[in-house]
């Protein structure tokens, strides 16, 4: 997930894999990961899992002193391992929630929350730091490296455990054979995970193959809304045909009928800028960004107008240029594979 996530996060790595492919693999691995987490309590020894959870959640005075740097006897899990496990559990929840919102937000703007991307990215940074530290202790640091044996083989040397986990009184875990019912439950979880992964990947690749630039066709089938969206479609056709004044009139009617649609307001604002009214365009585009911060084209149009592009007249100050570049960067974060992305990068670098 980290490797494919970096391809999605850094446009400079897009040459390693196409964005739709990276996204599909990223989501498929995420589904497999969640399926595995569900399969563990279904197939595993739940009594031992409960015991392990209680040990991790139980902090005693020796644990607190260990965290303060004092050498105190530790149980099967030392205080650092307990904190690490609790943080990883929280990270798993944050990844799932933020990732699900990002996935749903591409299909329904209702789920486009402005903080989802930031939460997902911040969680990634924390997770990477924890995993790097975990690998360092397991593979490099001499005093903790013997613990790797426990990960690979399920047991550690008794002399090492006596020194590093002196308060641990190990008992033999009962060997529990899988019942037919639990085998069927495990099989069901696996099938659900595979089906979910296939469905996610299929949806991602299909949406990438037929990606629509404007979400007009997905509007609810309500007579008044259909009429307004038809107006917007006619306005777009007139705009592309070079009949800007007529297009402006239809854009204004569509926005008046559907004032909460950020895409319609953004199209109107960009048309106003090209018609020679940058102040009005800036107000319209700023309102579009406020309506839906996750709609990429609103940031693109606003950034272009702030950098006096496409014939927009008027004086643009240094603060406007800074804001314009910020809006263009936001567009590239939201839609790095958009057909307009190369133009946005050229504007951003002053070419």
Q: List Cα–Cα distances, 221 to 104, 119, 123, 234, 261, in angstroms.
A: 20, 34, 38, 18, 15
Closest among 76, 82, 80, 78 to 168, alpha carbons compared = 76
Three-class SS of 300-343: HHHHHHHCCCCCCCCCCCHHHHHHHHHHHHHHHHHCCCCCCHHH
Model confidence at 310: pLDDT above 60: no
**What would the mean pLDDT of 119-148 be, rounded to a whole number?**
92
What backbone torsions phi and psi does residue 116 show, to the nearest 5 degrees? -65, -45
Cα separation, 100 vs 351, in Å, equals 37
* Lowest-pLDDT range of 121-135, 209-223, 250-264, 304-318: 209-223
How far, in Å, CA of 41 to CA of 337, rounded? 40
* Amino acid 94: pLDDT: 92
Burial of 177 (0-12, 13-18, 19+ CB in 10 A): exposed
Domains of the chain: 2-209 (1.20.950.20), 216-348 (1.25.40.10)
Identify the burial level of 69 via C-beta atoms within 10 angstroms of its C-beta, where 0-12 means exposed, 13-18 middle and 19 or more buried: exposed
**What burial class does residue 294 get, using C-beta atoms within 10 Å of its C-beta: 0-12 exposed, 13-18 middle, 19+ buried?**
buried
Q: What is the pLDDT of residue 240?
A: 81
At 284 the pLDDT is: 92
User: In terms of pTM, does the model score above 0.75?
Assistant: no
């Amino acid at each position: 997930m980290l490797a494919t996530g970096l391809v999605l996060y850094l446009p400079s790595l897009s040459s390693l894999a196409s964005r739709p492919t990276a996204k599909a693999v990223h989501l498929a691995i995420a589904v497999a990961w969640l399926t595995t987490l569900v399969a563990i309590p279904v197939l595993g020894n739940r009594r031992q899992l409960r015991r392990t959870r209680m040990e991790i959640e139980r902090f005693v005075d020796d644990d607190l002193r260990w965290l303060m740097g004092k050498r105190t006897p530790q149980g099967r899990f030392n205080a650092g391992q307990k904190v690490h496990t609790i943080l990883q559990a929280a990270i798993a929840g944050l990844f799932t929630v933020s990732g699900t919102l990002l996935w749903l937000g591409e299909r329904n703007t209702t789920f486009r929350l402005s903080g989802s991307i930031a939460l997902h990215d911040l969680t990634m940074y924390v997770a990477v730091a924890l995993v790097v530290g975990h690998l360092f202790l397991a593979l490099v640091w001499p005093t903790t490296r013997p613990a790797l044996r426990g990960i690979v083989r399920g047991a550690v040397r008794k002399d090492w455990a006596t020194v590093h986990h002196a308060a641990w009184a190990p008992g033999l875990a009962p060997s529990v054979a899988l019942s037919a019912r639990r085998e069927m439950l495990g099989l069901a979880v696996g099938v659900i995970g595979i089906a979910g992964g296939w469905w996610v990947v299929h949806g991602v690749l299909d949406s990438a193959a037929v990606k629509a630039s404007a979400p007009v066709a997905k509007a609810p089938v309500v007579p008044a809304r259909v009429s307004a969206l038809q107006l917007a479609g006619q306005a777009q056709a007139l705009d592309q045909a070079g009949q800007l004044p007529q297009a402006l009139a239809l854009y204004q009617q569509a926005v008046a009928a559907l004032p909460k649609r950020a895409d319609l307001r953004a199209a109107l604002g960009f048309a106003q800028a090209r018609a020679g009214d940058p102040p009005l365009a800036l107000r319209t585009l700023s309102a579009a960004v406020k309506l839906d911060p996750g709609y990429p084209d609103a940031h693109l149009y606003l950034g272009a107008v702030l950098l006096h592009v496409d014939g927009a007249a008027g004086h643009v100050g240094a603060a406007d240029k800074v804001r314009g570049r910020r809006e263009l960067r936001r567009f590239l974060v939201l839609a790095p594979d958009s057909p307009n992305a190369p133009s946005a990068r050229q504007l951003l670098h002053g070419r």
